[in-house]
Amino acid sequence: MEPRTNRRTTLLSRPAAGIIVVILAALVLAADQFSKHLALTNLPYQEPVEVWGQFLQFYLTRNPGAAFSFGEEVTWVFTLVLAAAAVTIIVLAVTRIRSRAWAIVLGLLLGGILGNLTDRLLRDPGFLVGHVVDFINTPWMWLGMNPAIYNVADMFIVTMMIGVALLVLRGRRLDGSREGDDAPAEDADVSASAEPARESRDDD
């Protein structure tokens, strides 16, 4: 009885899950684009600005490749990949997601994807091949190797992909049920609500 109750209380309606995804994605997109605007307005181009020694520096640059400067020769491919990933998350939000955890993780991931996709579509040198604005440098992370410069969108993409992996490893499904459950979350709710009626008939 208790597992069903816990599962039922964490379920969302599909519209509610979609709203969470949209709101979180919009917030991350706004934070990413606003931070890039501030960087472009206030930072010198490709000159390090120390904020906190080797822990945090700003280094404004434009990246034609993927996250963390990989794949600079095939910019349009990454644009299509980002667009496909964004569409996939939107479709899942509309049709499948009922788990609050999945709604949060995929909403934040979608915001990160849209942040870099906006750069690909709207920034120079042109549509589909725009360069992503990067400006965050944390040299301590790279253990003496050439550091990769990144942005707010990259942070959400990487951390939320880790979140996706953790949800999968924990067996959490998009509909709120878990691996090993005998029935989907919706069926469990129906059976749980029917139990009091059955118990009442048994008492009679």
Task: Point out the residues that are catalytic.
Answer: 134, 154
**How many residues are present in the chain?**
204
DSSP label of 123: S
Residue 54: phi and psi, rounded to 5, are -85, -5
**Dihedral sign (CA 147, 153, 159, 162):** negative
CA dihedral 76, 77, 78, 81 (to 10 degrees): 120
| H helices present in the chain, as ranges | 2-10, 14-42, 75-95, 100-122, 152-169, 185-203
What phi-psi label fits residue 116: left (phi over 0), alpha (psi between -120 and 50 degrees) or beta?
alpha
Question: Strand order of the sheet with strand 56-63?
Answer: 49-52, 56-63, 132-137
Q: Are 90 and 117 in contact (CB under 8 A)?
A: no
